[in-house]
């Protein structure tokens, strides 16, 4: 039996929105737990200045709460964090992978382009989230098509069908995650948009922030256009991002 838990593992206060979330997923398959992104980690909340740095904390607007970390929320569900076997990662920005260190034995699944970007001189990345040297499985270009998107099937000993979907632009290896649960597709687009309003309103202030934070803004815009088409053509697919608190509330109630 497969259970899905939508968990908010980040809180950010910004000038655009004073309650920005980090919408992570916990998939429970019998005694195995699979995570899609991890949010801010326990070590980040206990030692934020050392692990993140005061300058970045101030720029981003992080608010730290130990009880909001993935590991604590798993415990609060009555589950064992040691059963987390795999972490499927959209991209390697700290607010998506800070929690990896809380699951040191879990295999990390990420696109090969994103790991290459992380290992380059790109200053957006913090290195500490991978300092525990986890097992990393990378995924390169695929010929498999998922509703018009390239899809890279996750290779793990799990029943749930899961794909990394390249949505490049925010970072050079940024991916969404598509998974099929109870015959219904969920499509997590991560930071392809910060707020869903970006799909319909090019003048909203959040668009400027998304542009500034993009490694390649032209690719980001092309990715948004593809997501818009998918939303229009396939309303049966549930599509959501990482940071939109209103979207998260739809799944957490």
* Domain containing residue 233: CATH number: 3.60.15.10
- 250: buried, middle or exposed (CB in 10 Å: 19+, 13-18, 0-12)? exposed
Selection from 97, 99, 92 nearest residue 119 by Cα: 92
For residue 19, what are the domain limits? 2-252
Our count of domains for the chain comes to: 1
Selection from 171, 172, 151, 147 nearest residue 162 by Cα: 151
Rounded Cα–Cα distance for residues 226 and 248 (Å):
22
Check pLDDT > 70 for residue 188. Answer: yes
| pLDDT given for residue 253 in this prediction | 66
Q: Which residue has tokens 């739809």?
A: 250
Q: What is the pLDDT of residues 202-241, one digit of tens each?
A: 999 999 999 999 999 999 999 999 999 999 999 999 999 9
Asked whether the whole model's pTM tops 0.75, one would answer yes
| pLDDT given for residue 247 in this prediction | 96
The mean per-residue pLDDT over the stretch 94-112 comes to 98
Rounded Cα–Cα distance for residues 176 and 209 (Å):
20
Residues 6+ apart with CB under 8 A from 146: 163, 165, 178
């Amino acid at each position: 039996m497969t259970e899905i838990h939508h968990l908010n593992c980040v809180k950010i206060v910004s000038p655009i929105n004073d309650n920005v979330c980090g919408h992570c997923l916990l998939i429970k398959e019998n005694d195995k737990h699979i995570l899609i992104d991890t949010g801010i980690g326990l070590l980040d909340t206990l030692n934020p200045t050392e692990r993140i740095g005061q300058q970045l904390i101030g720029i981003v607007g992080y608010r730290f709460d130990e009880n909001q970390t993935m590991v604590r929320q798993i415990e609060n569900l009555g589950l064992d964090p040691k059963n987390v076997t795999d972490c499927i990662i959209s991209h390697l920005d700290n607010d998506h992978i800070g929690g990896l260190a809380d699951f040191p034995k879990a295999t990390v699944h990420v696109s090969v382009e994103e790991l290459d970007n992380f290992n380059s001189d790109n200053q957006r990345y913090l290195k500490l989230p991978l300092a525990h040297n986890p097992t990393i499985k990378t995924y390169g270009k695929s010929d498999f098509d998922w509703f018009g998107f390239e899809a890279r099937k996750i290779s793990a000993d799990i029943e749930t069908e899961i794909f990394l979907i390249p949505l490049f632009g925010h970072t050079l290896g940024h991916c969404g995650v598509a998974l099929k649960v109870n015959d219904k597709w969920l499509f997590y687009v991560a930071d392809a948009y910060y707020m869903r309003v970006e799909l319909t309103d090019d003048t909203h202030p959040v668009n400027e922030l998304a542009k500034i934070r993009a490694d390649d803004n032209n690719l980001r815009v092309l990715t948004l256009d593809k997501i818009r088409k998918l939303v229009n053509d396939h309303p049966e697919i549930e599509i959501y991002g990482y940071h939109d608190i209103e979207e998260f509330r739809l799944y957490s109630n």
